[in-house]
């Protein structure tokens, strides 16, 4: 199993993301947290997880905006 952590910022400095990518012989998982500003200038936090099979075919995706109250997209 290989795990990679990647972090980056938006070019304009208005956001950050931390992605953890895990690859094993039978599956690939991407798990990420985003801190950013939307088009109206409002800050937001979001998290997503994408689960793929060994051929990188998406099997499940989950996206959540972390706010009060929490909601799923």
Which residues, 6 or more positions from 58, have their beta carbon under 8 angstroms from its beta carbon? 50, 51, 52
The pLDDT, as a whole number, for residue 68 is 65
- Give the separation between CA 39 and CA 29, rounded to whole angstroms: 29
Q: Is-above-0.85 flag for pTM?
A: no
pLDDT in tens, 13-67: 889 999 999 999 999 999 999 999 888 888 889 999 999 999 999 999 999 988 7
Delimit the domains of the chain by residue range: 2-72
């Amino acid at each position: 199993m290989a795990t990679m952590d990647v972090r980056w910022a938006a070019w304009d400095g208005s956001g950050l993301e931390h992605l953890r990518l895990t690859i094993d012989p039978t599956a690939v998982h991407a798990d990420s947290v985003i801190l950013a500003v939307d088009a109206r200038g409002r800050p937001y936090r979001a998290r997503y997880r994408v689960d793929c099979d060994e051929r990188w075919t998406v099997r499940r995706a989950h996206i959540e905006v972390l706010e009060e109250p929490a909601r799923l997209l």
